[in-house]
């Protein structure tokens, strides 16, 4: 073979190789070639919460929390990839289309979990006083779909005073804690910055170094108990089934308890917690079987003190528990009684300690 012929063949081979490479690159880079939306098979399942606690409605819009309003499971059950999948949600008139996400590709066999954390309209939420139904709409679209697909679920927004014990299905409730899975939301009812609560608290803490002195912080705790009693605050029994964990319970805000001069054990514990927080004393609310008890943490030692707040109502204490109280039913003896109750609950393992400061920082802030 002559040198000239060899040169021509080398050039032709180079051209053919380059052309094949170009064709290969074109074929690879053309994503979705042969894509047929008619062959797409998706299993799309919308899951929603049945009830939303408006007392802590902002929590549901915080994607750092696990309190989503809705989640959607999208599984590609076919053999065709899905491209440019977009999803969004709308909660009645309380939001615009929200939480819209786009997934460039969902491969065959792949499952996507999408969540809705809506920012609810503050003015409308605050107008809700009773359990109110609202329609949640989920809408999705993808490349080649003729029109967006939608799914609808009815959810309920509870009134501002409603607390739901747990969001767990009944079959998943095994322990005492399971029955109060929503305990964090109690923090939303503890309102130390509400004006009338602060005013009452300032009277309680007047002249005391509550942020620095153990003695003064404990004295403020006792004063709070005594002043609520002096205001004529009475204990009212929880309705039947209160501790059954099966329904929403009406919970008062501290201002309401002071103004109405009455409250359940939870109302009284919430009120005392808020009053202590308002004057710089760290507080807790303990849930034990059949009861709620307020506690404070002293600033120097860190020691915890509880008090039997239902005994603010002296008549109730003497009539129902005359065997364990004196005729005075002093704040000091009520501290001793509560200490025994807390110790008993700790020994049985049936106690939930609600730290409002922790949950406020975590986003469960009072809405009112």
User: Are residue 170 and residue 92 in the same domain, yes or no?
Assistant: no
User: Which residues in the chain land under pLDDT 50?
Assistant: 5, 8-13, 15, 17, 19, 21-32, 243-245
**End-of-domain residue from the set 157, 175, 208:** 157
Task: Please tell me the total number of residues recorded for the chain in this structure.
Answer: 368
Is 79 part of a structural domain of the chain?
yes
Ordered strands of the 111-116 beta sheet: 42-48, 70-76, 111-116
pTM: 0.84
User: Are residue 52 and residue 150 in the same domain, yes or no?
Assistant: yes
User: Are residue 201 and residue 123 in the same domain, yes or no?
Assistant: no
Give the HSE-up count for residue 368: Cα atoms under 13 Å, Cβ half-sphere. 20
**End-of-domain residue from the set 157, 183, 199:** 157
298: domain CATH number is 3.10.620
Q: For residue range 260-287, what is the model confidence (pLDDT) as tens digits?
A: 999 999 999 999 999 999 999 999 999 9
User: Are residue 179 and residue 135 in the same domain, yes or no?
Assistant: no
Residue 143 φ/ψ region, left for φ over 0, alpha for ψ in the -120 to 50 degree band, beta for the rest? beta
Q: For residue range 56-89, what is the model confidence (pLDDT) as tens digits?
A: 999 999 998 888 999 999 999 999 999 999 999 9
Contact 89, 47 (CB under 8 A): no
**End-of-domain residue from the set 125, 140, 157:** 157
Contact 76, 108 (CB under 8 A): yes
Is 2 part of a structural domain of the chain?
no
User: Are residue 132 and residue 246 in the same domain, yes or no?
Assistant: no
In terms of residue numbers, what domain contains 218?
Answer: 162-361
Distance separating alpha carbons of residues 74 and 110, to the nearest angstrom:
8
Closest CA to 72 of 16, 13, 147, 140: 140
């Amino acid at each position: 073979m002559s040198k000239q012929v060899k040169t021509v063949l080398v050039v032709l081979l180079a051209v053919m190789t380059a052309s094949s490479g170009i064709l290969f690159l074109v074929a690879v880079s053309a994503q979705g070639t042969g894509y047929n939306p008619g062959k797409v098979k998706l299993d799309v399942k919308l899951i929603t919460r049945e009830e939303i606690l408006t007392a802590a409605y902002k929590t549901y819009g915080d994607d750092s929390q696990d309190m989503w309003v809705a989640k959607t499971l999208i599984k590609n059950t076919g053999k065709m990839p899905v491209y440019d999948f977009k999803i969004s949600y709308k909660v009645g008139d309380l939001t615009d289309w929200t939480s819209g996400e786009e997934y460039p590709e969902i491969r065959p066999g792949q499952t996507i979990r999408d969540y809705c954390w809506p920012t609810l309209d503050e003015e409308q939420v605050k107008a809700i006083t009773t359990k109110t139904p609202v329609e949640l709409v989920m809408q999705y679209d993808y490349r080649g779909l003729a029109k967006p697909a939608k799914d609808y679920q009815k959810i309920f927004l509870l009134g501002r005073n409603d607390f739901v014990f747990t969001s767990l299905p009944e079959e998943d409730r095994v322990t005492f804690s399971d029955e109060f899975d929503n305990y964090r939301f109690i923090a939303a009812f503890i309102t130390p910055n509400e004006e009338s609560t602060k005013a009452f608290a300032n009277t309680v803490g007047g002249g005391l170094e509550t942020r620095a002195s153990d003695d003064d912080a404990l004295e403020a705790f006792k004063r709070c108990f005594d002043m609520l009693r002096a205001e004529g605050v009475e204990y009212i029994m929880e309705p039947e089934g209160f501790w059954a964990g099966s329904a929403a319970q009406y919970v008062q805000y501290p201002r309401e308890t002071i103004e109405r001069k009455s409250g359940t054990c939870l109302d009284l514990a919430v009120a005392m917690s808020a009053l202590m927080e308002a004057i710089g004393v760290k507080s807790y609310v303990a849930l034990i079987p059949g009861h709620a008890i307020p506690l404070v943490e002293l600033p120097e030692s860190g020691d915890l003190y509880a008090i039997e707040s239902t005994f603010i109502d002296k008549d109730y204490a003497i009539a129902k528990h005359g065997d364990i109280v004196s005729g005075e039913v002093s704040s000091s003896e009520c501290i001793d009684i509560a200490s025994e109750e807390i110790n008993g609950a700790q020994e049985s393992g049936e106690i939930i300690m609600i730290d409002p400061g922790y949950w406020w920082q975590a986003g469960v802030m009072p809405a009112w």
